[in-house]
Chains A and B, each alone.
Chain A
Amino acid sequence: MATKRTVDVSVSTTGLDKQGRPQRVPLVVDESGNVTTMEAPPALEPELEGEHMLINLGPQHPATHGVLRLVLELDGETVVRCIPHVGYLHCGFEKIGEYRQYNQIIPWTDREDYLNSPGNNVAFALGAERLFGIEVPERCKVLRVIAMELSRIISHLVWLGTTCIDIGAFTPFLWSFQERERVYNLLEKWCGARLTTSLTRVGGMMADIPDGWMDELRGFVQTFPKTIAEVDRMITRNGIWVGRTIGIGAMTATEAVNYGLSGPMARASGVAYDVRKDFPYLDYETYDFDVPVGTSGDVYDRYLVRMEELRQSVRILEQASARLPDGPVNIDDPRIILPPKTKATTEMESMIHHFKVVMEGPRPPIGECYVAVESPKGEKGYYMVSDGTSKPVRWRIRPPSYVNLSAIPKMVEGHLLSDVIAINASIDIVMGEIDR
């Protein structure tokens, strides 16, 4: 419920609290509901007051995670103002979507948020299926949940590794990439690609899982928490990590909702908004998992939320692998689903069928839909409009990290230049998704 909330800002050296987290000094909200997210910087000595300086960070900079460009106005080392420039990776995804059939768009969804390819494939297929008015079999739903959670794990692992490098720790990068390679092996066995998976089709999956795949998944699920625990032991109470993250870039819950933040960014601020819980899809309401919520919305809380989400993903994977039913993965509709490859190359009728489906493409009725899923970055939405032809009139991507990044001028204000790197890393930006 709506209450006055406190925001913790500064690091105290008094030790750990009951939960084992470093203690913080809370600042109370004033009467009008304003929260001072940071202690006011000490007034400058008159003779030290100097000229402001504009610094160009990016577009080619190792800490901008791609080609983001920030123009920072500095007073000494304190950021007075930040002007982000995006668009250096604008590749016209939405335009190309108007020229491709629904199944042909799926390879583009791989490359737009490329850390989360399987999740995007599933999200796009969900949207297209809503537009076609079809529902996939149970087995397909569970396989899609597995794909989404695996992609959440690999995306958070990249976030963890790169953020650790940005803040000064190199080892977790190697550990997380080692775990990523194990997920890559799983995905490679399933669909043949490591990164750009194109895992789904409209009305089903690109392929069923191969024999023995479930056992390997269970092996991964059993051993992966050990790595999380190692990283946790190494970083969570590390003095440097704590000092560089606590109280940095805090957003209150009100601000987070108003700025449109979603995903771990919003949850770290105390907004328990998770699309899987609030607007479920793929029967997520039947899985037992928790939504971690932070209190102060700073970089440290975002880190804690993402670490907990890794554990919750493992929980969901456990349940999904236990309940995977037998049966078909594709719907039974020859107007949408291609005939099996062996038939298409040996039987004339199947070949003609294959040719018709590929060249003409399945046609949805006139309509539109907005389907949102919980991607590792937040609420990822696909808005599709059909005018009855085989290609959408409009394929709109609602990019969560684009909206999250738009709050960066607010977050970095008053912090030091080196904190900008930590804040920028904590947003978990993927330029492919931001610029599209």
Chain B
Amino acid sequence: MSDQGIVQAGWAAPNAPAPSTPRKVPNRGGEMNPSADRIKARYPAAFVRAEVVWGETTVFLRPENVFEVIQYLHDDPNELYDYLSDVTAVEYRDLEQPLEVVWHVRSIPWRAFLRVKAQIPKDKPLRVKSVWPIYKGADWLERECYDMFGIEFEGHPDLRRILMWEQYKEGYPLRKDFPLRGRFSRAEQLRQALAANPEARYSMEELAIADAFEDLPADMRKRLLGGEETGE
């Protein structure tokens, strides 16, 4: 991280218009974010298309190139997209349509907003590169995306379930093939939930990131190596 991340609002170009509430935004078309053209010129292989919907520019990229483009967006002084608003995914009701991973990035210095999308066909493994090395804020957002959609983020330091418990068996809740009330009956769901140990805290996954393993008491180490009972 360099000093350019430190920002003040209103650092935009001196003759830039003052921000104002958007009015009469058209459904399609309108002014496109100039970053889209710069991405197209710089990364022609990664660029798929760009569109403006309700005044917001969306850039479609190939999934394997998203990381380098976002790195460029973050670092280049003309772009300076230093703030990651959101990482999420969209699955459409039409099962033919590919699943989309969506990044919302903001440039606080330039007061710009850009949506980056990558379409992953359903027959391919749901895998993209994590943007965690660029934005530390992506940590939990990507974990949630993995938890809810099953998208794997390569390079994420600690990719495991975050909202559902780790032994959750029913699948990825926000996928369209997941029923609203879950796959199992209520009694079965309750039985599985109650079988979990509420204090199962020293899981190996936790310690893999904790690397405090060597500092633990010997008996605890032994217990962990033997596999602690964490319920279902």
Contact = CB atoms under 8 A, between A and B. Distances in A.
A284 B22 CA distance: 11
Nearest to A379: B85
A259 B86 CA distance: 12
A5 interface: yes
Contact of B56 (A52, A369, A396): A369
A4 B3 CA distance: 8
Nearest to B147: A87
A369 B54 contact: yes
A260 B5 contact: no
B163 interface: yes
B5 A253 contact: yes
Nearest to A131: B54
A363 to B, nearest CB: 13
B202 interface: yes
B225 interface: no
Contact of B210 (A33, A81, A87, A436): A81
Interface stretch (A36-44, A267-275, A350-358): A267-275
B228 to A, nearest CB: 12
A387 B215 CA distance: 54
Contact of A280 (B5, B19, B58, B199): B19
B94 interface: yes
Given A94-B174, A396-B86, A284 B21 contact: yes
A114 interface: no
B124 interface: no
Interface string B16-45: 001111111111100000000000000000
B164 interface: yes
Interface residues of A, number: 77
Given A52-B215, A71-B201, A278 B111 contact: yes
Nearest to A396: B88
Contacts of A85: 201
Interface in B196-220: 198-199, 201-202, 206, 209-210, 212, 215-217
B2 interface: yes
A4 B135 CA distance: 21
A385 interface: yes
Interface residues of B, number: 72
Interface stretch (A168-176, A341-349, A398-406): A398-406
Given A56-B201, A130-B54, A260-B84, A83 B137 contact: no
Contacts of B108: 257, 271, 273, 278
A263 B1 CA distance: 21
B21 A283 contact: yes
A195 interface: no
Contacts of B58: 368
Contacts of A281: 21-22
Nearest to A127: B54
A274 B9 contact: yes
A247 B7 CA distance: 22
B165 A87 contact: yes
Given A260-B137, A277-B19, A80 B163 contact: no
Nearest to B214: A52
Contacts of B163: 86-87, 90, 435-436
B102 interface: yes
Given A257-B108, A271-B108, 6 more contacts: A56-B201, A135-B23, A272-B10, A280-B20, A372-B85, A402-B141
Interface of B: 1-11, 18-28, 53-54, 56, 58, 82-86, 88, 90-94, 102, 104, 108, 111, 113, 115, 135-141, 144, 148, 161-165, 173-174, 178, 180, 198-199, 201-202, 206, 209-210, 212, 215-217
For the complex of A and B, list the 10 residue pairs with the smallest distance between their C-beta atoms, beginning with the closest.
Answer: A260-B137, A87-B163, A272-B9, A406-B140, A254-B5, A52-B215, A90-B163, A253-B6, A398-B86, A369-B54
7 contacts: A257-B83, A369-B53, A383-B88, A383-B104, A394-B90, A398-B104, A407-B136
Interface of A: 1-5, 33, 51-52, 54, 56, 59, 71, 73, 80-81, 83, 85-87, 90, 92, 94-96, 99, 130-131, 133, 135, 252-255, 257-261, 270-274, 277-285, 291, 365, 367-370, 372, 379, 381, 383, 385, 387, 389, 393-394, 396, 398, 402-403, 405-407, 410, 435-436
